[in-house]
A and B are shown apart, each in its own frame.
Chain A
Amino acid sequence: MNGQQKTQERYEIRFSGSGGQGLITAAVVFAEAVGVYDGKYVCQTQSYGPEARGGKSKAEVVISSRPIDYPKALELDLLLAMNQAACDAYFYDLKQNGLLVVDSGLVEQHPTSRIIAIPFTDIAKEEIGRKLVANMVALGAVGLLSGQVNLDNLEKALLARVPKGTEEMNSRALQRGIEEARKINLDDLPRSVISDDYDEV
């Protein structure tokens, strides 16, 4: 099936890691920013086991300028992996020119050189003071790197979702993520996750 053509109108992101890392929250905020504030079509889905914490957790956001039929990801444009298990399990769902974004403190073995590694959890712990907001640091980075969302709207959506009293901390976390991502030059990355000289058809 002509995969390339069909998915061009769609942009697909997966937030993955373990239960309790706040990945579903991050995906919901992203979806709200894109859908409610930016006015695009969006579908947000998740899957998780019956346990409250631990276990695999993944949340997806599909963005499109047209109504979305299949609500889940077909081929990922961006994969955020917040632990090694998620990186190993989902790496193969990435498009050849997709972006792999990992928490460099938690993902040590890189499946490809086309990778963006940022220490989200360390930044959250050391600079913001709460390990808990690592998901928001990552959200900021994903927001910028994907190029799919207005970053002001992302912050608005975030502030509307987080508990009262935590706005400042969350917004600082988001901004730090955006800052870190700005340091990345996407053109410097190898062109494909499969090989460096992959020719786009």
Chain B
Amino acid sequence: MSEPTKQRHLLQGNEAIVEGALTAGCRFFAGYPITPASEIAEQLSIKLPAVNGTFIQMEDEIASIGAIIGASLAGVKSMTATSGPGFSLMQENLGFACVAEVPCVIVNVMRGGPSTGLPTSPAQGDVQMARWGTHGDHSIVVLAVSTVMDSFTITVKAFNIAEKYRVPVILLSDEVVAHTRECVELPDTSEIKVVDRIRPSVPPDWYKPYEGDARGVAPMAAFGDGYRHHVTGLIHDVMGFPTQKPGEVEEFHLRQTKKITRGFPDIQMTKGYFLDDAETFVIAYGAVARSALRAVQDAREAGIKVGLLQLITLFPFPRRTVAPLLGQCRSVLIPEMNLGQMSREIQRVNQGSCNVVKYNRIDGKFITPREIYGQLIKL
């Protein structure tokens, strides 16, 4: 079962994340169980050893992310999975992964928060935290899944982005997607593009561990490969040693930003529905995108020219796709299971050209198509 075949499987979103991770080459998982993410750890504890991978249940989430950073530095693709409370604990080490440019995937299956909040209820309250939870200016990639099939394909993509750009990637799921079972046909492994980090091609003496290539990404040697290098959370020069020289510090930050900026066409993923002649449209992500699609289809049947833009990449915010639509349409509706965390991004890009309407639910309940439809007909 660890090698997905073309058979049909009835999988939960969480199980599909596991299949995606294994397909992408993940061979190390460290985590601490938490609802609604526990099935990911549970499945990997069975499946990783079967492919000579490593599964460790850690004492907490701080240690979990520490362990996956270590494993990734040793050259193994690594992942952890948690929910809001655990994700809060991971923020410090997440910053370390950013500064040291350690590729890894952190799954956050969102539940109601803050704190222990609503363990079994869906929410989307961790969106801005995923972007800005760790301190300091940093580049990070945040992706959101909305179906079981997404949970497979976007997990593979998350690993590919992490490896290609040497960044931690946050994969946001939510209680609805995580626990919904759907029938999926997993593609054959040969049909899936898997990206591996670039390793140094120079002799060990010439290796500069933090000197970017044309894309701004530095080749990454694994510990034990014979390439001695220093890894630190301090801002460092191309050799990995701490520096406070303004020129080097600035260059460090700019390279980190540019490597992501240059990757925008590759990293920024969205899906559009009925957008061509849309006069109004909905922007949604995660499970709510499914409610929105139903509502938009109902509205189309009723003759209302409405479209849907589903965001898969939340950060870096896909401005190049969103901005033209804001110019084209009269109004945009943004339904979210939070008080408007993505709508701020949209308002920032909008600059007054489109009427931005929020629809928010924070009572632990999933937004229904009927509610969105009710908002759409008022636009």
Shortest C-beta distance, B344 to chain A (Å), equals 26
Contact of B369 with A70 in the complex, beta carbons under 8 Å? yes
For residue A67, which residue of chain B has the nearest CB? B147
Contact A71 B180, CB 8 Å, known A32-B10, A50-B120: yes
A36 to B11, CA, bound (A): 10
Q: B120 touching A70 by the CB < 8 A rule? A: no
Q: Considering the chains assembled together, what is the distance between the CA atoms of A50 and B290 in angstroms?
A: 26
Binds A, one of B127-135, B156-164, B256-264, B296-304: B296-304
Q: How many residues of B contact A (CB 8 A)?
A: 25
On whether the beta carbons of A44 and B180 are closer than 8 Å, the reply is yes
Whether the Cβ atoms of A35 and B176 lie closer than 8 Å is no
Question: A193 to B373, alpha carbons, bound, how many Å?
Answer: 26
Contact (A69, B294) CB under 8 Å given A1-B370, A6-B301, A44-B10: yes
Tell me if A132 counts as interface (CB < 8 A to partner B). no
Q: Is the pair A70, B183 in contact by a Cβ cutoff of 8 Å?
A: no
> A19-63, CB under 8 A of B: which get 1 and which 0?
000000000100110011001011111111110000000000000
State the CA gap A32–B298 with chains docked (Å).
28
Contact A36 B183 (CB under 8 A): yes
Chain B 365-376, CB within 8 Å of chain A: the 1/0 string? 010111001000
A166 within 8 A of B: no
A42: nearest residue on chain B (CB-CB)? B183
Given A1-B373, A5-B301, A28 and B291 touching (CB < 8 A)? no
Q: Which residues of B contact A45 (CB under 8 A)?
A: 176, 179-181
* Interface set, chain A 55-87, CB cutoff 8 A to B: 68-72, 74
Q: Chain B residues with Cβ under 8 A from A185's Cβ?
A: none
Is B183's CB under 8 angstroms from A41's CB?
Answer: yes
**Contact in complex: A35, B293 (CB < 8 Å):** no
* Contacts between chains A and B (CB distance < 8 A), count: 74
- Interface 1/0 per residue, B159-187 and A, CB below 8 Å: 00000000000000000100111110000
Q: Quick one: CB contact mask for A88-130 with B, threshold 8 Å, 1 for yes?
A: 0000000000000000000000000000000000000000000
Q: Report the bound CA distance from A74 to B9 in whole Å.
A: 25
Minimum CB distance partner of B8 in chain A: A36
A6 pairs with B181, CB closer than 8 A: no
Per-residue contact bits, chain B 78-121, to A (CB 8 Å; 1 contact, 0 not): 00000000000000000000000000000000000000000110
| A31 pairs with B10, CB closer than 8 A | yes
Q: Assess the B120–A49 pair: CB atoms within 8 A.
A: yes
Enumerate 21 A-B pairs (CB-CB under 8 Å) in ascending A order. A2-B298, A5-B301, A6-B297, A31-B10, A31-B181, A31-B183, A35-B183, A36-B183, A41-B182, A42-B10, A42-B181, A42-B182, A44-B10, A44-B180, A44-B182, A46-B179, A68-B182, A69-B291, A71-B287, A71-B290, A72-B366
Which 9 A-B pairs give the minimum distances between C-beta atoms? Answer: A35-B183, A44-B181, A70-B294, A69-B293, A69-B294, A32-B10, A71-B180, A36-B8, A69-B290
B residues contacting A by CB (< 8 A) are 8-10, 119-120, 176, 179-183, 287, 290-291, 293-294, 297-298, 301-302, 366, 368-370, 373
